[in-house]
Amino acid sequence: MALKPLDIFKYLPKTNCKECGFPTCLAFAMQLALGKTELVRCPHLSEEGKNQLAQASAPPIRTVTVGTGDNQIKLGGETVLFRHEKTFYNPPALGVLISERMSDEEITTRLADIGRLSYERVGLKLQAELIAVEDTGQGRFSSLVEKACATGKCLLLMSQEVARLREAVKGCLQSRPLLFAADSTNWEQMGNLAREFSLPLVVRGASLETLVELAGKLSGPGLADLVLYPEVSSGRELLEKLVTIRRGAILGHIKELGYPVLTMPGTLTQDPLRQALHACLAIAKYASLVVLPELKGEILFPLLLERLNIFTDPQRPMATPQGLYEIGQPGPSSPVLVTTNFSLTYFVVSGEIENSRVPAYLLVQDAEGLSVLTAWAADKFNAEKIAELVKQTHLEEKIAHRTLILPGVVAGMVGELEEELPGWKILLGPREASYIPVFLKNWKAE
Binding site for ligand SF4 (CB under 6 A): 12-13, 15-20, 22, 25, 28, 42, 44
Closest distance between ligand SF4 and the C-beta of residue 14, in Å?
7
Nearer to ligand SF4, 19 or 419 (CB): 19
Nearer to ligand SF4, 19 or 38 (CB): 19
Computed over its alpha carbons, how large is the radius of gyration of the chain? 26
Closest distance between ligand SF4 and the C-beta of residue 24, in Å?
6
Nearer to ligand SF4, 37 or 345 (CB): 37
Between CA 79 and CA 2 the distance in angstroms is 8
Say what angle helices 235-250 and 272-284 make with each other, to 10 degrees. 10
Run of H or E including 52: helix 47-56
Closest distance between ligand SF4 and the C-beta of residue 35, in Å?
16
- By three-state DSSP, how is residue 27 classified? helix
Between CA 365 and CA 324 the distance in angstroms is 9
Closest distance between ligand SF4 and the C-beta of residue 27, in Å?
8
Nearer to ligand SF4, 40 or 206 (CB): 40
Between CA 146 and CA 161 the distance in angstroms is 18
Reported residue count of the chain is 446
DSSP secondary structure letters along 80-147:
-SSGGGS---SPPEEEEEEETTS-HHHHHHHHHHHHH-EEEETTEEEE--EEEEE--SSS-HHHHHHH
Closest distance between ligand SF4 and the C-beta of residue 5, in Å?
12
- DSSP secondary-structure letter at 440? H
Nearer to ligand SF4, 14 or 431 (CB): 14
Closest distance between ligand SF4 and the C-beta of residue 4, in Å?
16
Nearer to ligand SF4, 30 or 406 (CB): 30
